[in-house]
């Protein structure tokens, strides 16, 4: 079955590459280039558990405790990363790997964080809330055991399994005429606000994170509730952009607030060509042209050479 799956995905990606050529799915960048070389441990994880692999964990839903242990190991291995790239690598794993694990309430996981002295250590986070955004589409509220460390509200991206009600709901959300994920956010906003206010009062104010549809939901949440969120950056990987109403709301925010949201897009990914991207935008690429589905699901933190550039201002 895994061979059939990977063959089918490759054929689908070839078709998408014909419909959305690399040149049309590229993003203009500024001249400055930053490069990163992944430790072998993360390269191994990306190769063995990428979306196109025979044992996928990235952007692929599972409830296996064994899968969760593998993701925990990958998170711990990020301490091998150059300090300047640690936050990027950890956040990408949270959005593309941890977000796709089905986990029970009160589960604990260790995540590398920085303290006020800029020292890196493994902080224990507890799963405090599982949100039912719509039709069992989940988001996960993680709180740290120690105060003055940001909580994490992680939105899951599109579930392409097509085997559950929540999977179909996420696909319908991608096609929302008011903007991907916007109607789902409006349905769930009160429960999201309640939790954000709760952790804010505990001095464990949250960041919002997500990839793909999850990144769009993170963006909607930031625009609406930035005043309840951590001063640390909230992050979206490969999200579709916002549509007219949310773009207007974003434009009304002050510049220093806008600086607190980061969007990563990938050269070759067609998804982020939809709508208007928000936040500080960075463009990710490797030393090869990527087809749309690979570009959208690749773990860039696990590539031998990552190229990161600021997006050119629109």
| Tokens describing residue 96 | 């593309």
Q: What is the DSSP letter of 312?
A: P
The band of 242, judged by pLDDT with boundaries at 50, 70 and 90, is very high
Tell me: pLDDT of 122 over 90.
yes
What burial class does residue 211 get, using C-beta atoms within 10 Å of its C-beta: 0-12 exposed, 13-18 middle, 19+ buried? buried
| Tokens describing residue 35 | 């490069």
| Tokens describing residue 225 | 């509730």
What average pLDDT does the segment 197-215 reach? 96
* CB neighbour list of residue 123: distance below 8 Å, 6 or more residues apart: 110, 111, 112, 113, 144, 145, 146, 149
What average pLDDT does the segment 180-204 reach? 96
What average pLDDT does the segment 53-57 reach? 94
The band of 312, judged by pLDDT with boundaries at 50, 70 and 90, is confident
Cβ–Cβ < 8 Å for 97, 89: no
How much is the pLDDT for 82?
A: 87
* DSSP letters for 228-247: GS-SSPEEEES---B-HHHH
What average pLDDT does the segment 251-265 reach? 97
| Residue given tokens 């206010």 in the structure block | 197
Q: What is the mean pLDDT of the chain?
A: 94
Percent of the chain with pLDDT over 70: 98
What burial class does residue 137 get, using C-beta atoms within 10 Å of its C-beta: 0-12 exposed, 13-18 middle, 19+ buried? buried
Q: What angle do CA 179, 57, 45 make, to 5 degrees?
A: 120
Cβ–Cβ < 8 Å for 253, 291: no
How much is the pLDDT for 314?
A: 53
| Residue given tokens 């190769």 in the structure block | 47
How much is the pLDDT for 266?
A: 97
What average pLDDT does the segment 283-294 reach? 95
- 3-class secondary structure, 27: coil
């Amino acid at each position: 079955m895994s061979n059939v799956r990977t063959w089918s995905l490759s054929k689908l990606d070839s078709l998408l590459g014909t419909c959305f050529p690399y040149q049309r799915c590229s993003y203009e960048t500024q001249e400055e280039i930053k490069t990163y070389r992944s430790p072998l441990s993360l390269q191994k994880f990306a190769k063995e558990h990428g979306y196109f692999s025979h044992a996928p964990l990235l952007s692929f839903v599972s409830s296996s405790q064994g899968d969760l242990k593998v993701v925990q190991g990958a998170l711990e291995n990020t301490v091998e990363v150059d300090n300047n790239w640690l936050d990027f690598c950890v956040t990408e794993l949270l959005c593309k790997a941890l977000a796709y694990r089905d986990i029970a309430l009160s589960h604990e996981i260790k995540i590398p964080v920085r303290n006020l002295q800029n020292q890196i250590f493994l902080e224990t986070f507890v799963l405090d809330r599982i949100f039912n955004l719509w039709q069992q589409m989940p988001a996960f509220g993680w709180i740290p055991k120690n105060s003055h460390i940001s909580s994490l509200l992680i939105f899951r991206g599109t579930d392409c399994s097509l085997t559950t009600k929540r999977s179909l709901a996420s696909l319908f959300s991608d096609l929302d005429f008011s903007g991907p994920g916007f109607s789902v956010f409006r349905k769930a906003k009160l429960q999201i606000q309640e939790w954000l206010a709760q952790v804010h009062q505990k001095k464990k104010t949250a960041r919002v994170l997500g990839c793909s549809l999850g990144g769009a939901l993170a963006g909607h949440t930031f625009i609406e509730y930035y005043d309840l969120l951590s001063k640390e950056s909230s992050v979206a990987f490969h999200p579709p952009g916002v549509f007219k109403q949310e773009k207007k709301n974003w434009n009304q925010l002050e510049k220093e607030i806008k600086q607190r949201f980061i969007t990563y897009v990938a050269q070759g990914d067609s998804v982020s060509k939809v709508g208007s991207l928000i936040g500080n935008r960075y463009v990710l690429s490797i030393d090869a042209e990527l087809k749309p589905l690979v570009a959208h699901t690749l773990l860039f933190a696990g590539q031998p050479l990552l190229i990161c550039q600021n997006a050119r201002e629109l």
